[in-house]
Amino acid sequence: MSINKNLLIPLTAFVLLVIVLAFGFRLEDPHYLPSELIDRPFPEFSLKDLHDPGRTLTAADIKGEISLVNVWATWCPNCLVEHPELIRISQEEGIALYGVNYNDESSKAIAWLERHGNPYKFNMVDDNGTLAIDLGVYGAPETFVLDKHGVIQYRHVGAVTRGVWKSRIFPVVELLQTQMGEG
């Protein structure tokens, strides 16, 4: 049986491409999206407070304690999925939780929090998405772990579930607490 030599090169290239892609997809977690902001200060911002539009919030307002900054929106189905866990974290874990209401209508966001509960110390209104852009946010929800100096230590893309809290976020918080003598 004779193989057409003109087909051998493309066939070989295709087989090599399949092998490379197969190994490449197994090497990394497909949900892992690295952040250039790890070990850098949280971006500066000046945004209105969702519940007090006369109050302007800045990066200084989220410094002073280990905290989570959660980017969320009423139009985000996974934000509703993670919300019970955020409520639990705010009530049981003693971790400050700040919200960034992203590309949303403030009236809808307030009604959503009244209906589902409000785990946040305060919410920043990022209706133009400027802070989200500075954070490199791909969509909602995304959660950032900050040390007490306001430096980003970890980024999680997707819903914060109990499993995600236990396996990914809490170990970072616990390490920060130990390093800073709070644990």
Kindly report, residue by residue over 58-105, the tens digit of the pLDDT.
999 999 999 999 999 999 999 999 999 999 999 999 899 999 999 999
Distances 45 to 54, 57, 142 between C-alpha atoms, Å: 16, 8, 17
* pLDDT of the residue at 27: 47
C-alpha closest to that of 78 among 144, 169, 154, 157:
157
Residue with tokens 């946010």: 137
* Segment (H or E) for 24: helix 5-27
3-class secondary-structure state, position 44: coil
Residue with tokens 């500075």: 134
Given CA atoms 102, 108, 110, 113 in this order, what sign does their dihedral have? negative
* Segment (H or E) for 99: strand 96-102
Pull the structure tokens for residue 49. 């407070």
The CATH H-level superfamily of 33-182 is: Glutaredoxin (3.40.30.10)
* pLDDT of the residue at 33: 53
**What are the pLDDT tens digits along the chain (183 aa)?**
556 666 667 666 666 666 656 655 554 444 455 568 899 999 999 999 999 999 999 999 999 999 999 999 999 999 999 999 999 999 999 899 999 999 999 999 999 999 999 999 999 999 999 999 999 998 899 999 999 999 999 999 999 999 999 999 999 999 999 987 754
Please, is 121 exposed, middle or buried when counting C-beta atoms within 10 Å of its C-beta (0-12, 13-18, 19+)?
middle
User: Average pLDDT of the chain?
Assistant: 89
Domain ranges of the chain: 33-182
Given CA atoms 126, 131, 137, 142 in this order, what sign does their dihedral have? negative
* pLDDT of the residue at 181: 75
Task: Estimate to the nearest angstrom the gap between the alpha carbon of 171 and the chain centroid.
Answer: 16
**Contact indicator for 99, 50 with CB cutoff of 8 Å:** yes
Q: Which residue pairs from 48-52 have beta carbons closer than 8 angstroms and sit at least 24 positions apart in sequence?
A: 48/124, 48/125, 49/122, 49/123, 49/124, 49/125, 50/99, 50/101, 50/106, 50/109, 50/110, 50/113, 50/122, 50/123, 50/124, 50/125, 51/110, 51/122, 51/123
* pLDDT of the residue at 146: 98
